[in-house]
Amino acid sequence: MKLFVGLGNPGARYAGNRHNIGFMAVDRIAADHGFGPWKRAFRGVAAEGRLGEERVLLLKPETFMNLSGDAVAEAMRFHKLTPADLTVFHDELDLAPGKLRLKQGGGHAGHNGLRSIHAHIGETYGRVRLGIGHPGHKDAVAAYVLHDFAKADQVWLDDLLRGISDGAPALAAGTGAAFTNAVALRTAPPRPSTGTQPPSRPALADKPPAKAAPLASPDTASPAGDKQTLLERLRDRFR
């Protein structure tokens, strides 16, 4: 079994917050892949289902962000899972809005949800970092993450969540590259071809024979060898 955990804060008050993008990700996976109903378990709500060949448990801790590790550790103990079986979806200030990065192990970078998980199970679990951008100053961070996404964010947010859902079976199977490719097809799809080819340059043909030089007009200088011919023509013309 794999454990996918979305981080956020419980309750309608926080549902649309930037800090809750982890909840949004697992909600989308559950809806698109026919997971069972959400049920209270492990100090949160959980849903079971399959992604490809893998049995997966989705979990949204209801301990509030700072105590996320309590719920995660309880679920892991019950199902006898290791950190290698765990992937956490969380908001990331250091990524531009709509960007996504996979990470295996490493520090928590000050994220309180990750800090709590670190304290319970260590740091070797996987993360899906979901970019929400930075407000520009550290003093503005708390208000920023606890504020709802703007209406202008809804297009990229929906594309990102759709991509995560598309790639979820690959993520469960441990194929990170296929997962990120699926997300990219939603968030940065290739431009459609116009179906036309640019006009090609004509192939160079053999050099055509030089055209015969036109007869020089009376007021045009001629080479010395042509003077007699020109005088003769003028004489014939005025006879």
Q: Which residues are catalytic?
A: 19
- Please enumerate in sequence order all residues whose Cβ is within 8 A of that of 224, keeping only pairs 6 or more positions apart, or say none: none
Q: What are 51's two structure tokens? A: 């992604």
Distance of CA 88 to the CA centre of its chain: 18
Distance from C-alpha of 119 to C-alpha of 169, rounded to nearest angstrom = 29
3-state helix, strand, coil in the chain (%, to 5): 45, 20, 40
Q: How many CA atoms lie within 13 A of 46 on its CB side?
A: 21
Contact (CB, 8 A) for 88 and 32: no
Distance from C-alpha of 71 to C-alpha of 10, rounded to nearest angstrom = 13
Contact (CB, 8 A) for 62 and 23: no
CA nearest neighbour of 92 among 167, 150, 15, 160: 160
State the DSSP string of 136-170: SSGGGHHHHHTSBPPGGGHHHHHHHHHHHHHHHHH
How large is the C-alpha radius of gyration of the chain?
35
